Amino acid sequence: MNKKFFVYLVVCLLLLRDQHIEAHAQYKKSMAMRVINKSAACIRHLYFLNPSSCKDADPFYQELAKEAQTALGIAPKDQLPVKRIENIGIFSQFGAIAEPDFIYINEDRIKDRPYGYKRFALFHEVMHVKYDDVAKYEIIDASLLPLYFFTYFSMKQWGPAPVKKFMEDHVSGWKWHVVLPFAIEVLFSYLYNLPGCERRADVEGAYACACYQCVHEAASTRLSTDDKTFDAIFQRKRGYLSKEELQAIADDLKEKNCCCSYHLAISRASSEGT
């Protein structure tokens, strides 16, 4: 890639970042930002998520999402429905994803997870909706639009064989020219402190759950602080809480006697049984 062109893209990205920070409070009132919102959402749908091809999620997840959005003060008319994504390719790495118009759930990936994990996952994603974190991804999408298309066409025409082979071997059938722009997006996302967004969604989402059992069940799926594997390091770099950090919140909620109706009913049934 031409160095001047690359520098131009980076400068544009930084300018858009500053503009976004200054105008964030007016985000939903700004027509320009709405245009960016919709345009970037179309790009993400083109590459990753196409709502028209995704089925509605199970009513169980619709109810969890409704509970979370209501608890976080999102008006009924602004609440997002839940769609189901298939457990294939890059989506096999996600349990849930928040997008501008929908929340997506990978039902196959999390179907065997405990109730508390699923409930916490929805609260986490709804936190992204509450704080417009999704908008930050959309700014990245809009500012990287030229890079997306440059990557797609240049790699399709002149991509080196080793790159193609690596993608074909390690991306479960997904095309290499789709995954590469996603990798670029992850790299540039650090300019927006998105790890801070993930940490906030974890911490505030856990307390919004208001149930020590739910948070404990979610913590049981996280990797330890002492874990030195790539997945554990990536989890921490992205801002997600470790098993110990999330469990600490569960312990705090337990001291405050915070428990959801589901786990409270189980506890009462267990007490009556004994």
pLDDT in tens, 179-232: 555 555 555 555 555 668 889 999 999 999 999 999 999 999 999 999 988 778
Closest CA to 256 of 215, 201, 200: 215
Q: What angle do CA 82, 85, 89 make, to 5 degrees?
A: 155
pLDDT tens for residues 1-60?
455 555 555 555 555 444 444 444 444 445 555 555 555 555 555 445 565 668 899 999
Per-residue confidence (pLDDT) for residue 230, from 0 to 100? 76
Do the domain assignments include residue 185?
no
Closest CA to 191 of 22, 19, 74, 17: 17
Do the domain assignments include residue 217?
no
Helices 133-143/145-158 angle, 10° precision: 50
pLDDT at 131 over 70: yes
One-letter amino acid at 244 equals E
Per-residue confidence (pLDDT) for residue 81, from 0 to 100? 95
Do the domain assignments include residue 127?
yes
| CA distances from residue 189 to 12, 158, 196, 237, 239 in whole angstroms, order as listed | 14, 27, 11, 12, 12
Do the domain assignments include residue 105?
yes
**Number of folded domains in the chain?**
1
Better-predicted residue by pLDDT, 273 or 224 = 224
Better-predicted residue by pLDDT, 195 or 109 = 109
Neighbours of 129 (CB within 10 A): 22
Q: Which domain holds residue 127?
A: 3-140
Per-residue confidence (pLDDT) for residue 179, from 0 to 100? 53
Q: Would you say 270 and 259 are in contact if contact means Cβ atoms under 8 Å apart? A: no
CATH number at residue 47: 3.30.2010
Q: Which residues contact 242 (CB under 8 A, 6 or more apart)?
A: 222, 223, 224, 225, 227, 232, 235, 236
In the predicted model, what is the mean pLDDT of the chain? 75
Do the domain assignments include residue 33?
yes
Do the domain assignments include residue 207?
no
